[in-house]
Structure formats: structure tokens, C-alpha cells
Structure 1
Amino acid sequence: MRLAGKVAIVTGGAGGIGRGIALAMAKEGAHIAIVDINEENGKKTLAEINERTEGALFIQDISVKENVEMIVKETVSHFGKIDILVNNAHASRNVSFTETTMEHFDLSFGTGFYPTFHFMQACYPELKKTQGKVINFASGAGLEGQPTQTSYAAAKEAIRAISRVAANEWGPDGINVNLISPIALTPGVEQWRDNNKEAYDAMVQKIPLRRLGDPEADIGRTAVFLASDDANYITGQTIMVDGGTVKLR
């Protein structure tokens, strides 16, 4: 029970990687506030979490600053504190560089970068009290400049930039800020795999460990580590949980 008594906000926690992280943290004793726009999946994940820990909470929507402030207040009102912030939610569209429009940037920054920034600001007073942990998300799309990922890559690298700034500024407060850059077999990837078997197999062959990560067992367990006391001396880092695909220098 490495996170016993800890309170975590997990954005995008209704499905995919966010669900995996929420379940992994709940298994280690954390109380979870799931934040997601998908109410149906959110309530399903809430039920799963409540089988592992008592008092989980589902809060819908993260799209605007006012909602973020409300979510933080509701979480503190329900649980009494915030120890862990996981900024996982992000949506984007894949189009070529020349076809990328401001609407694509608005979607990617509006669902990924700005909520991450606003949640970090809104949670800072609570995280300072608890000497808490922030876990944000990077991507190989930004680190390697993957084709058709212009708006997504830009937002992810912007998240990496502000994470490093916060790690420097908040370190004296005892707050750790790190990033995970994952490759995971989410439901969306499973659907794509079923319709594009050859492309999927080719992608897997480029991963040194020859598989995609499990959202709970691989990505979730890494998040548990970064949220635990075992990671107290790690901050400002991008942790590659991608089977060895990208090797940072």
C-alpha cells in the first residue's frame, strides 16, 4: 500500500491510460478523483476503483479554467487534501503539417496543455501543504517529431517545458514534477490494430521489447512509483515507458 491515504486527481481517468493509472493507484491505497468528460465510462471506472479503495469520486469535464478551480475545490471538500495530480487527458487530430489549422491547435492545446497548466496552478497551494507529486504526460510524437502530429507534438513539448519550470520553482516547496512518455495498448489502439494488422505488427517490431505497454501494469505502476516516497529525489524528468522506443540523451 505505497499510496495509502494519499489523494490523487487523475484527468482523463475514465478510460485508457488514465483508467490504468487510477486503478493502479487505488490498488496501492490512494483515494481517486476521476476527472473525465465521458460520464458513462467514468462511472464504470468509479465502480472498479470502489472495489479497491473507499471514497472514489467522479467529476465530469475539464475544458475550462473555471471548471478546473471547481474540481480542485470539490476534491478538497470531499477528501480534505490533494497529494497527487495526474494530468493525462488530451485530444488531438492527426493531419499533415501543411493541413494543420488553428482549430487543430485549439483542440490539442485546449484539451491537453491548458488544462495541465490550469490544474497545476489550481493545485499548487494544496500540493505545497502535502509536499505532493505532479505527473504530466509527454509523447514520442514531440520528442521525435512524428509525422501528422504537429498540434499534438507542440502541445506535448509545451507541457514538458512548463513541467521543467515548475520542477525548478516548486522544488524548494517539496513538490516533485515529472513526466511519463508512454506507449500503451489502449482501447483506441486495440480498435486500430483490429483494422490495421500489418501496420500494427510493423509498429510492434520497432519496439525493442516487442509489445505495447499495459495501461495499468506498465504505465500505471510507473505512475505509482513517481507518486510514492520512492521517487522523492526525482523531479523535472521525462520517464520513457515505451518499451525502449525512444532513448533520451
Structure 2
Amino acid sequence: MRLEGKVAIITGSASGIGRGMALALAKEGAHIVIVDINEEMGQKTLAEINQHNEGMLLIADISKKENVEQIVSDVVNKFGKLDILINNAHASKQALFVETTQELFDLSFGTGFYPTFHFMQAAYPELKKTRGKVINFASGAGLNGQPTQTSYAAAKEAIRAISRVASNEWGPEGINVNIIAPIALTAGVEQWSKSSPELYEAMINNIPLRRMGDPEGDIGRVAVFLSSSDSDYITGQTIMVDGGSTKLR
């Protein structure tokens, strides 16, 4: 129970990687606040969380700054503190570079970068009290410049940039800020693998460990580590949880 009594906000945690992290942290004793727009999936995940520890579901549009501030306030009012902030939610659409529009940038930055930034600002006073942990999300799409991912890659690299700044500014106050860049077998990826098996096999063959990551067993366990005292001397780092696909220098 490495996270017993800790309180964690995880955005986009009704399903996918967010759900995997929520379950992994809950099994280590953390109270999980699921923040999502999908109430049906959120309720299902909350029921799973409650089998391990008391959780909370907040249905909200986090692209609006006022909703972000209200979420942090509601969490502190219920649990009395905030120890862990995991900014996982992000939506985007693919397009060739020359076909990328302002609307696509607005979608990617509005659902990924700005909510991450606003949550970090809103949570800072509480994380300062608890010497807390922040986990943000990057992607190999940004690190490697994946085609058709202009708006997504830009937002993810912007998230890495502000994470490094915050790690320097907040380090003296005992707040750790790190980044996970994952590859995981979510429901969407699994559906794609069935409709495009040859493309899926080609992708697997480009992963040195020759498999997709498991949202709970692989990504979730790294999130547990970065949320626990075991990672107290790690901050400002991008952790590639991608089977060896990208090797940082």
C-alpha cells in the first residue's frame, strides 16, 4: 500500500490509460478522483475503484478554466487535501501538416495543453502543502515528429516544456513534476488492430519488446512509482513507457 491515504486527481480516467492508472493507484491505497466527460464509463470505473478505496467521480468539461478550479476545490472539500495530480486527458484529430487548421490546434491545445496548465496552477497551493506529485503526458508523436500529428505533437511538446519549468520552480518546495510518454493497448487501439491487422503488426514489429503496453500493468505501475516516495529524487524527467520505441539522449 505505497499510496495509502493519498488523494489523486486523474483526468480522462473513465477509460483507457487513465482507467488503468486509476486502478493501479487505488490498489495501492489512493483515493481516486475520476475526472471525465463520459458519465457511463466513469460510473463503471468508479465502481471498480470503490472495491479498493473510496473514489469520486466528477463529470466536467476541463477545457473551461473555471471548471478546473472548481474540481480542485471540490476534491479538497471532500478529502481535505490533494497529493497527486495526473493530467492524462487529451483529444486531437490527425491531418497532414499542410491541412492542419486553427480548429485542430484549438482542439488539441484546448483539451490537452491548457487543462494541464490550468490544473497545475489550481493545484499548486495544495500540492505545496503535501509536497505532492504531478504526472503529465507526452508522446512519441511529438518527440519523433510523427506524420499527421502536427497539432497533437505540438501540444504534447508544449506540455513537456511547462513541466520542466515547473519542476525547476517547484522543486525547492518538494513538488515533483514528471512526464510519461506511453504506448498502450487501449480499446481504440484494439479496435484498430482488428480493422487494420497488417498495420498493427508492423507497429508491433517496431517496438523492441514486441508488444503494446498494458494500461494498468505497465503504464499504471509507472504512475504508481512516480506518485510514491520511491520517486522523490526524480523530477523534470520524461519517462518513455513504450517498450523501447524511443530512446532519449
TM-score range, shorter chain: over 0.9
1:125-144 matched pairs, under 5 angstroms: 125-144=125-144
| Equivalence for 1:176 | 176
Q: C-alpha separation between the residues in 2 aligned to 1:77 and 1:139?
A: 33
| Equivalence for 1:187 | 187
| Equivalence for 1:41 | 41
Tell me how far 1:239 sits from its aligned partner.
Answer: 0.2
Residues 8-41 of structure 1 show CA distances to partners (whole Å, capped at 9, x for unaligned) of 0000010000000000000000000000011110
Tell me how far 1:210 sits from its aligned partner.
Answer: 0.1
Counterpart code for 1:58: L
Q: C-alpha separation between the residues in 2 aligned to 1:101 and 1:94?
A: 11
Query: After TM superposition, where is structure 1 displaced by more than 2 Å over at least 4 residues in a row?
Result: none
Q: Secondary structure at the match of 2:146?
A: coil
| Equivalence for 1:201 | 201
Residues 183-231 of structure 1 show CA distances to partners (whole Å, capped at 9, x for unaligned) of 0000010111110000000000000000000000000000000000000
Q: How many residues align?
A: 248
Q: Secondary structure at the match of 2:212?
A: coil
| Equivalence for 2:88 | 88
Tell me how far 1:247 sits from its aligned partner.
Answer: 0.1
Tell me how far 1:6 sits from its aligned partner.
Answer: 0.3
Counterpart code for 1:121: Q
| Equivalence for 1:159 | 159
| Equivalence for 1:10 | 10
| Equivalence for 2:59 | 60
| Root mean square deviation of aligned Cα | 0.4
Q: C-alpha separation between the residues in 2 aligned to 1:248 and 1:43?
A: 38
| Equivalence for 2:110 | 110
Q: What percentage of aligned pairs have identical amino acids?
A: 75
Q: Secondary structure at the match of 1:52?
A: coil
Tell me how far 1:113 sits from its aligned partner.
Answer: 0.1
Structure 2: where are the runs of 5+ without partners? none
Tell me how far 1:63 sits from its aligned partner.
Answer: 1.9
Tell me how far 1:170 sits from its aligned partner.
Answer: 0.1
Q: C-alpha separation between the residues in 1 aligned to 2:231 and 2:181?
A: 17
Counterpart code for 2:219: I
Normalised by the length of structure 2, the TM-score is 0.99
Structure 1: where are the runs of 5+ without partners? none
Q: Secondary structure at the match of 2:181?
A: strand
Q: C-alpha separation between the residues in 2 aligned to 1:82 and 1:112?
A: 21
